[in-house]
Homo-oligomer: A and B are copies of this chain.
């Protein structure tokens, strides 16, 4: 199905051949995870380690071929158009170019990203399961957090649960105590939690090849008024975006919904990142839900909604949910707080 759309795209862009080798792209187009592959219009080139698997599992229409014979896939005619991914290593590009020196290489990274942004039924089911597990792990981890623990201790609790119940982390778990949350990409360190400060946790478990992503905050019962104010504002921005998300709007229009709420609350300059990003085989994929995100949102897209406000040396709040765009709105996959 996605392969059909891929072939349609190849025709539309008048490509004589396509060379796809990015691991997540290969997975998305063939269902096969392989770190040494070149997928052409009609064949899956790889090495001896993977050939048996490819012979068994490649979708119809894709022959399994030895990657040492890739030269045979190259169109001979001068001016042939070859679709490739500009994300491949430059050295790899030079090798491919050498096999087809007279061809025009056309970057199709964005075309594939757009195809991948709309998830298949199987992918949605897998991401849903990963998101549910992520929430369960968060609930369990919370009960194990105790005053006196360091950020690293708390991160390890989450990492261990992710390995035990899922396939490990989709990205390095972030745990920030108090003012450390003002750094968006704080690495868990030896900072000790006294049990009264807020804690920000950004976590995503991997399960069956797909990712999840969610950020939660432990709000102390006696939070400082400024923290409470910021928390409520960020939550309001999150809810506004969840309520507004629907197919047909651009990603940047959705970004603006949340940004306007934060701006109206007087913290516009403290929301330095984009509202969200697609999630699937990779933790960051299309659509980019940002100020410049031109992609039109479509049913079946899965992305995060994660407004945040950061006051350096003081506090940070980010509330991140993973949502699935439906026919007339969106479904939050990361339930609970």
List residues of A whose CB falls within 8 A of some B CB. Answer: 33, 48-50, 52-53, 86-94, 107, 109, 156, 159-160, 162-164, 167-169, 183-185, 187, 272, 312
Contacts and interface: CB of A to CB of B under 8 A. Distances in A.
Contact of A90 (B53, B93, B272): B93
A183 B52 contact: yes
A87 B53 CA distance: 28
Contacts of A167: 159
Contacts of A90: 86-90, 92-93
A208 B52 CA distance: 37
Contact of A87 (B50, B91, B187): B91
Contacts of A160: 160, 163-164
A185 B92 CA distance: 23
A156 B184 CA distance: 31
Given A88-B89, A160-B163, 10 more contacts: A48-B272, A50-B185, A53-B183, A86-B90, A87-B91, A90-B92, A90-B93, A159-B164, A159-B168, A168-B169
Contacts of A168: 159, 163, 168-169
A156 B87 CA distance: 32
Contacts of A93: 90, 93
Contacts of A169: 168
Contact of A49 (B92, B159, B185): B185
Contacts of A87: 89-91
Contacts of A159: 163-164, 167-168
Contacts of A183: 49, 52-53
17 contacts: A49-B183, A52-B312, A53-B183, A86-B94, A87-B90, A87-B91, A88-B89, A89-B90, A90-B92, A90-B93, A91-B109, A93-B93, A156-B163, A159-B163, A159-B167, A159-B168, A160-B163
Contacts of A53: 183
A86 B89 contact: yes
B86 A107 contact: no
A88 B272 CA distance: 26
A172 to B, nearest CB: 9
B49 A184 contact: yes
Closest 5 CB pairs of A and B: A86-B91, A163-B163, A90-B93, A159-B163, A160-B163
Nearest to A36: B185
A46 to B, nearest CB: 11
